[in-house]
Structure 1
């Protein structure tokens, strides 16, 4: 069971982190050899990932990595705005000083990394740690919402959202705006202004609502 969980987690991370080409076929036999496990273990993990939307499955075609899609990105972004807005407002009401401290710490880490990226000529070394820090900040925003269902939905939506953007985001051309946006979200949340917090979360994600950030090669 532990090995099954490890393989599932490894595949999930790889799918989100652009470890596979969009649209690529995921062959159980190849992955079985790569991970040193049975083909049934791989298929079970892929079926679980297909339920989350991180893998597609069709009879006769098998498992594939989802294609990039402007429409899908826009839908996922809209869901993120709704979930993060509501989750953060609930955290403002319920989280108290402990949540504020966790959020401030998560932002401090993210801000430091983003400023390093902004000043760097080669950003390749920052890819992994930025994606982890960015996810942690947004998870911390909703961490005190008191709803396991909301957090589970957000984790699923965030994973699929990140999968859609992993190619486009590697250039980090958005990083100066991100520094500003994350600071504004933090300030609004700590001030307790619920309406402003919702607005700042929306403003942060607004560039993805049209799907334009995927580029011209993405399918509609």
Structure 2
């Protein structure tokens, strides 16, 4: 029987460093964690495997996906395309209400990032940052009027975040993040579509690696024309 609370909690744990990359997800252990049947856990894991957050193979069972530079680069490129297109559509269609939501989402994220930047141990701020960062990027595309684009974005975002669930906890990127998020917001509020696409690309470009980086840059230029 499907249990949405167990599914949601597992989904959250899978993208916030509660499991290691490549770790086997044992239904017997998880059923004890949640006080439910093994079949309930398996149903949640099967659903999560359709989202790419869990790998499933016959005879091997369920595992957390391995960390992969190639997968991260691909997910990053897709994020750039989806967020660029979604934000441009929001600029055209969102109006004052969307601008107000974007300003509020940025204010919350900026406040948390500045506190992280000033903190020697930002551990307690990590859950707040995860949520605020997602909300900011979701708000960028929230007025695009495409349920399909938004659904694809959140699925890609979760897989992207899972790939970075360990690396991002060092927060050595946070000062640039503060600048990048502000630049994206300003460009979007100014209605500058080309600059907004470019700032979104610049924000995520550090995750594009090697040959894929050059290929993705060319695709970005083509998609923006």
Asked whether the two chains share a fold, i.e. TM above 0.5, the reply is yes
Alpha-carbon offset, residue 32 of structure 1: 0.7
Partner of 1:23: 22
State how 1:125-204 maps to structure 2 within 5 Å.
125-204=124-203
Alpha-carbon offset, residue 33 of structure 1: 1.0
Q: Distance in 2 between matches of 1:115 and 1:172?
A: 11
Runs of 4+ in structure 1 displaced over 2 angstroms? Answer: none
Partner of 1:215: none
Alpha-carbon offset, residue 125 of structure 1: 1.4
Provide structure 2 residue ranges, at least 5 long, that are not aligned to the other structure: 211-225
Q: Distance in 2 between matches of 1:32 and 1:124?
A: 28
State how 1:23-172 maps to structure 2 within 5 Å.
23-172=22-171
Provide structure 1 residue ranges, at least 5 long, that are not aligned to the other structure: 212-220
Structure 2 SS opposite 1:57: strand
Provide Cα deviations, 1:36-64, integer angstroms capped at 9, x if missing partner. Answer: 11111111100000000000000110000
Q: TM-score, with normalisation over the residues of structure 1?
A: 0.94
Q: TM-score, with normalisation over the residues of structure 2?
A: 0.92
Partner of 2:221: none
Structure 2 SS opposite 1:66: coil
Q: How many residues align?
A: 210
